[in-house]
Structure 1
Amino acid sequence: MMMLSRAQYKTAAEKELHSILNYWMQYTVDNIHGGFHGKIDHNDQVYADALKGSVLNGRICWTFAAAYHFTKDPLHLAFAKRAYDYIVQYFIDPEFGGVYWTVNADGSPADTKKQTYAIAFAVYGISEYALASGDETAKQQAIGLYRTIVQRAYEPVHGGYLEAFARNWTDLPDMRLSAKDANERKTMNTHLHVLEAFANLYRIWPDATLREQIKDLIDIFLHKIIHPQSHHLQLFFTDQWESQSSLISYGHDIEAAWLIQEAAEIINDEALAETVRQRSLFIARAAAEALDKDGGLWYEYDPATDHCVREKHWWPQAEAMVGFYNAWQISANEEFLKMSLNAWTFIQDYLIDTRKGEWIWGVYENYHIIAQEDKAGLWKCPYHNSRACMEIMRRIQ
């Protein structure tokens, strides 16, 4: 496997970032109802009547606002504003606060449950748009949604944030983020993205209470979520932080290996950041257990049943680019740099759609394409892959 130089890696990432952005600008705009289409399938077929997801729209908002910092292209900022305006008009619940999970194609409410994860992505996207645009109203929207999470989802006895609620913030019997998740009141995934959102908000609003909440979240990862022996993330918990699953998600491992560190660095707590850096190396090594010889990362593994999902989805590969590069920056261990470069090689070889742009969902063990999944949809967004490109650009810069 021929290795790129770091300068070549940066150039390749920048080219790919523009390709991803161009796909979303060309194919996903809903010119009839506003905003963006809710679904485009593997064959680039647009589903004009598909539901529109709050997570997708928050991530589109973040992607184009974050890209604007690099490109200074006013069109990218305009696309961020399009996503921001749509979130404010259609996803934010004017009566009970928070954001709906989905709306119909015309913008009318569909699934009105309040998923803490989704509200976090609204904070993440809107705060990035406020940073890019200087829009004070957007900043206040992000702060308001953050306060909703704290007021409604915080669990004061054992700490952390509860998973989901009905529209009016009453209990839900089914709190799952997706059908594959366990129905538990606290999850790693939601806490990772609440931390990500709070840290991003801190960049435009360095509030003392927010800083303490970020520190508390990092502490939860260090002492509750990261397994003390295996260094994998534990995924599902009771209120008392008792682990309810042995499942390992390798993509979340390598994503957390740099995101938690970034949060500690954003709040300028150097002692905490150094602690997290050392833990990040352990997490990166744990994630590397799933690397295949082609540079790709397997999806997940359950040691209780010895079952490995031998698929390589787009987003763990994107996170591998960043997470292993970050581990190299901490440790100067060249093996981590090779892992990052190999992840990029795998993405080029198997995931990038060189015909129309964007990345496919993934491949099976035999490299057959996972063709039944979306190119754009409730979960297939321009966030993991564009962010990986921007992170590589920024770090090599």
Structure 2
Amino acid sequence: MKYKTVREGQQAVVYNHLGEGRLIIGPERVFLYRERLQYLKSYTANQYQFLVLKDKDGIVTHKRGPCEIFFNPLVYDSIEIKDATKIDANHLIVVYKRLKDNDVQRRIIQGPTVFVPEAEEWLHQFSWHGCESSNKARMIPGLNQFTQLAVIPDQFYYNVRDVRTLDDTMIVVKLMIFYELKEILKMLDKTHDPIADMINAVCADVITFAGKNTFEDFLKNTHRLSELPSFPQLTQRANKIGYEIQKVVFRGYHANDRLQMMQSSAIESRTQLRLNTEIEEMKQRLQNFKLSKEQARTKLIQDMEKAEQDHKQLIANMKQVHDLEIKQMDHEQALKIATMTTTSKLDDQKDRNSKDVEHLSKLRDLGVDVTLYLTLQHTPSADEEIRVSTVPNGTGSRSPTSTTL
């Protein structure tokens, strides 16, 4: 006999001596007589988890978090905490649910969301070809297993091996395939591994392409391996399983060691010749560049000399024009001064004549004989020499002809 305390927030089961049990929910003080108390374990799920409850009768239920359940052995057989499925915006999941009439219902849940399945639901498990970690171009069946399917464009590398050309040359063709999921239901109904279908189809297309060309023709037509029309079986198969092939990129090829060595030697020779050609072209272009620059420099010097001569000639012409203008101005100034002097003399003479006329008029008015006055005004003085000369006439005598003062 003893007492046991079940605290608040705890639960316990009390078993009697007959094996019967009863549930105790705290807080409670329990008296035990021929009984055994067992505390129950608490299972707590947050908002991104859920609890899987399995009853004694085999019924399984899921309880979404946040929640808390005590493991009651009288009711439950087991309790398990599981994480909910977090789905991003570019992913989706395929959920199956068993109905009461044993039918199965399928639905697709697109992210972003947090998915908690019901007890009758399960997720579709995808098992596809996956690339090997050490060699991305090698695909291994069933390596890529997942439940969330990406709905964004994706790509994978693949090397098509044992490709034989028309002249029996064995090569390995390296490709990169870009694809995008368009119809999820068609993909679920038509294939269980779309990557395997794409690999088989692209192998068929590459083998068909190489079988129509010799090795030399294959090297000339490698650009066609980056064009979608060269892969009809790949595009057709992708459309049937709900995918779209966006593009295929040719990443190169690999032949056997001997052929590869010969090819490398030929490539090296061609590269060396091309480099020599480019070097010679660079030299010629450099020489042409120097000549053109020298010619341009010579022309520039000639233009500068011509401009200098033109400038000197312009200055000389301007100086000559300036001198002529100065001489013209001096001539005009002298002519103006002479004209002014002549005009002044004429005006003075005119004034004197006017005064003389006025004086003679006054003398005439006073009764003076003007003729006599003028004669007297012009009579020679005593110191003047009077010379008389005679000219013989027809009678043999001489007569006076003129008088010179």
Question: Given the two structures, how large is their TM-score scaled by the length of structure 2?
Answer: 0.17
When you count helix as a share of all residues, which structure comes out higher?
A: 1
When you count strand as a share of all residues, which structure comes out higher?
A: 2
Task: Indicate the structure (1 or 2) with the bigger Cα radius of gyration.
Answer: 2
Question: Given the two structures, how large is their TM-score scaled by the length of structure 1?
Answer: 0.18
